[in-house]
């Protein structure tokens, strides 16, 4: 599992981090199926247990203060200035140091957006519905509304289902084509009558770049949850109720950032 874009932690790996975010001084982690203590997010109880907190503490994440959403496959934004349940939506935003934001997935994309210059952070949960509703674009817009410049942002797409394993039909393609006429064909490869393989990675990279992010600041290790059942949960492949969690938090003021 040698990949310059990914750093694995534990044996078997309990989580991964991205060197591209580490050099920015952003505490973060994305778990594997081997990380204990993760429950389905619901309020008011924290979905992250003591076991998870113990594993991720080494990454500088204080999960006693974690903020999370009731994710609904949309593009609504909630602000988190403290830990705990932040409401209903699929995008979280904070400008407060040491408040970890958590996004739960089992095939959908977890997208991290970091503004190191302005010390702002947003995270998004994006499946096909969130792609249609432009959740990634909403996350960029929330940061811009908070004072960020798109060209200053760094983005990362964490393990999620790739086009190799994601076949869809008309109920997915019809709203996608309506939302992105003349564009969606670049993200969907026909595989038979009424069937396509959908590339959510490329669709969301397009949304981020179209919002003004520099393409070289969009990191995607292209780890497919469908292909790697040894490492990740995949609802599409196994109908699993297990969840992966991606967590990130702004560092304390005074920590050097580029």
The 3-state DSSP class for residue 25 equals coil
CA-CA distance, 200 to 161, in Å (whole number)? 8
Count of all residues that appear for the chain in the document:
258
> 47-103, pLDDT tens digit by residue?
999 999 999 999 999 999 999 999 999 999 999 999 999 999 999 999 999 999 999
Residue of 41 and 46 predicted with greater confidence: 46
CA-CA distance, 232 to 254, in Å (whole number)? 35
The sign of the dihedral angle between the CA atoms of 131, 148, 247, 63 is: negative
Q: Give residue 201's pLDDT.
A: 98
CATH 3.60.140.10 assigned to 7-161+217-248:
yes
CA-CA distance, 188 to 157, in Å (whole number)? 19
Question: Are the CB atoms for 67 and 254 separated by under 8 Å?
Answer: no
Question: Which residue reads 């999960």 in tokens?
Answer: 63
> 11-21, pLDDT tens digit by residue?
999 999 999 99
The sign of the dihedral angle between the CA atoms of 246, 47, 80, 129 is: positive
Candidates 238, 246, 240, 219; CA nearest to 35 is 246
Is the peptide bond between 12 and the residue preceding it cis, with omega within 30 degrees of 0? yes
CA-CA distance, 143 to 115, in Å (whole number)? 8
> 179-233, pLDDT tens digit by residue?
999 999 999 999 999 999 999 999 999 999 999 999 999 999 999 999 999 999 9
Rounded (10°) angle between helices 200-210 and 135-145: 30
pLDDT of 257 > 70? The answer is no
Question: Which residue reads 């994440």 in tokens?
Answer: 61
Q: Where does the pLDDT of residue 254 fall: very low under 50, low under 70, confident under 90, or very high at 90 and above?
A: low
Q: Give residue 256's pLDDT.
A: 47
Radius of gyration of the chain (CA): 17
Mean pLDDT value of segment 233-253: 91
Question: Are the CB atoms for 197 and 164 separated by under 8 Å?
Answer: yes
């Amino acid at each position: 599992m040698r990949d310059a874009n990914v750093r694995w932690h534990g044996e078997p790996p309990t989580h991964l981090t991205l060197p591209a975010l580490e050099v920015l001084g952003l505490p973060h982690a994305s778990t594997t199926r081997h990380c204990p203590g993760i429950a389905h997010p619901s309020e008011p109880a924290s979905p992250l247990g003591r076991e998870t907190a113990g594993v991720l503490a080494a990454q500088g994440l204080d999960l006693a203060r974690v903020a999370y959403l009731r994710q609904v496959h949309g593009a609504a934004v909630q602000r988190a200035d403290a830990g705990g349940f932040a409401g209903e939506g699929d995008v979280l935003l904070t400008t407060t140091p040491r408040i970890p934001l958590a996004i739960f997935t089992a095939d959908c994309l977890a997208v991290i957006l970091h503004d190191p210059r302005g010390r702002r952070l947003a995270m998004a949960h994006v499946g096909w519905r969130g792609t249609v509703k432009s959740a990634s674009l909403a996350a960029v817009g929330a940061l811009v509304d908070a004072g960020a410049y798109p060209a200053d942002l760094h983005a990362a797409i964490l393990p999620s289902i790739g086009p190799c394993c994601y076949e869809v039909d008309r109920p997915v393609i019809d709203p996608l084509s309506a939302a992105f006429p003349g564009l969606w064909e670049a993200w969907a490869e026909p595989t038979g009558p009424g069937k396509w393989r959908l590339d959510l990675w490329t669709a969301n990279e397009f949304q981020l770049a179209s919002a003004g992010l520099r393409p070289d600041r969009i990191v995607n290790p292209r780890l497919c949850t469908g292909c790697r059942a040894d490492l990740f949960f995949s609802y599409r492949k196994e109908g699993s109720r297990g969840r992966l969690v991606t967590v990130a938090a702004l560092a304390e003021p005074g920590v050097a950032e580029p």
